[in-house]
Amino acid sequence: MEQLDTPIGATYDYSPPADTASGKSAKKRGSAARVSRVIKKKGELLTEPEKKANHIASEQKRRLNIRVGYDQLIQIVPTLTPSQRSEALILQKTVEYIKYLIMEREILEGQMKEANR
């Protein structure tokens, strides 16, 4: 995910990335399509509503990043399908797939050693 550099005293807008397959926004579960943060000049304090808005924006961005990570795992791990949204299941099947890949690599390395003898 790209980070935006912003000058002091500016605000920035964060829009979730579009789903490349369907062209749809990654917006889910009523999350805001645009997250705005307030950035003030050095020495200026944020008001309570501005602090709250920044906290909400940061939390939405964090959740979006987690969702994008799980979506990427669903695309990479062959035993997962987009209908499987359980985070525990996604992590469990990802660990199984990594163990499978490690075992497969060890077998191929053994075969290469045998072929080089």
Residue 14: how many other CB atoms lie within 10 Å:
19
Residue 98 has pLDDT above 90, yes or no: yes
For residue 46 the two structure tokens come to: 């944020």
Specify the pTM: 0.59
In 63-108 the beta strands, taken as DSSP E runs, fall at none
Report the chain's mean pLDDT, rounded to a whole number.
Answer: 78
pLDDT digits (tens, 9 = 90+) for 52-91: 999 999 999 999 999 999 999 999 999 999 998 899 999 9
Q: Can you tell me the distance from the alpha carbon of 46 to that of 35, in angstroms, rounded to the nearest whole number?
A: 17
For residue 102 the two structure tokens come to: 């490690």
Residue 29 has pLDDT above 90, yes or no: no
